[in-house]
Amino acid sequence: MDLDGFVRREILGRFGHENLNTVAEFKGRVPTTENLCTQIFEILQRGFTLAHLEKVRLEETMLNSFEYSGEAQLRA
């Protein structure tokens, strides 16, 4: 299994071209960029163990982005 295939199947297949308000992962949660980034990090951390995951970064626009590095970031 390669990273590109994993991302296509587990991330894009789940969230791509979807109304995130209707996706199970966001039932009871607002699908903000921050929450989406956290969810993607958790999926990659759990499911793709062939590499070390440092962080996930999502860019909405050239001036607006969010990075998540796991729970350690929340405690700092």
Give phi and psi for 40, each to the nearest 5.
-60, -45
- The mean pLDDT value of the chain amounts to 91
Q: Which of 21, 64, 25, 27 is nearest to 42 (CA)?
A: 25
Within 10 A of 38 (CB to CB), how many other CB atoms are there?
A: 21
- The one-letter amino acid code at 17 reads H
pTM: 0.86
Burial tier of 68 (Cβ tally within 10 Å: 0-12, 13-18, 19+): buried
pLDDT at 47: 95
Q: How far apart are CA 65 and CA 46, in angstroms?
A: 23
Each residue's pLDDT tens digit, 56-69: 999 999 999 999 99
Each residue's pLDDT tens digit, 24-39: 999 999 999 999 999 9
pLDDT at 1: 72
Within 10 A of 26 (CB to CB), how many other CB atoms are there?
A: 18
